[in-house]
A = this chain, B = another copy of it.
C-alpha cells in the first residue's frame, strides 16, 4: 500500500530530475549527488575537495539536512558558493528542492555542483536530483557489510569512497570484503580508499573528478 501512494511522488520527482539534467547539460555543469550514512564524512570530503581544487574549478554546494545550517557554513568557509536546504524532518532531498535552491547559484559560472544529501543510506537513493553521478561514501567504522545490506545505493552509484582509512588499525573492516560485495552489485563501480583527515588517497578522487568534468564538456 505504501508503495502505491508513493508512486505519484516518485514519478513527479523523476520528471523534474530529467528537466534539471537537461539544464545541467546545457550549462555543462558536472553534478554529483553525495549519499552516505550520517557522519561518514561527506562534509569533510567537500571541505578538502573545495579547498584543494579551488584554483581549478568553480564549485558550488547544495547542502541537505533536517535541521541546522552547520554544513553550509563549513563549506562556505572554503570560499565556495553554498546553499542549505532544511528538510524539516524529511529523510532525503528531492528534485523540486534542488530546483528551488538553484536560484541561489550563478549557473553560468559553475563547473561542478555537489549535492550533499541527508545522511541516510536508503531513501535518497530513490530520489534522483538531476545528477550525473551518485557518489556513495562508506566510512570504515560502519563495517564492511554495508554494501551487502544496503545494496541499491552501491548498485546505482558511479563511485564508492571508503573514508576514514586512518581508523583501519582500530576497527574490524576488511577492505577486500567490502569491495568484493560492492563490485558484485556493480561492475563499473570506481572505488577510492582515502582519509579526509590525513589526506591519504585524495589525489585519486581528484583525478576522477577531472575526468568526469572533462567528459561533461564533450
Contact = CB atoms under 8 A, between A and B. Distances in A.
Given A67-B149, A121-B119, A149-B65, A39 B9 contact: no
Nearest to A143: B39
A66 interface: yes
A146 interface: yes
A37 interface: yes
Contact of A149 (B66, B123, B150, B171): B66
Copies per complex of this chain: 2
Interface in A34-91: 37-40, 65-68, 70, 89-91
A184 to B, nearest CB: 12
A141 interface: yes
B89 A142 contact: no
Contacts of A6: 5
Interface string A93-133: 00000000000000000000000001111110000000000
A125 to B, nearest CB: 9
Given A39-B37, A123-B123, A66 B1 contact: no
A152 interface: yes
Interface residues of A, number: 40
Contacts of A37: 37-39, 119, 142
B91 A38 contact: no
Contacts of A175: none
A139 interface: yes
Interface in A1-34: 1-2, 5-6, 8-9
A149 B39 CA distance: 10
Contact of A70 (B1, B66, B149, B152): B149
Contacts of A9: 1-2, 5
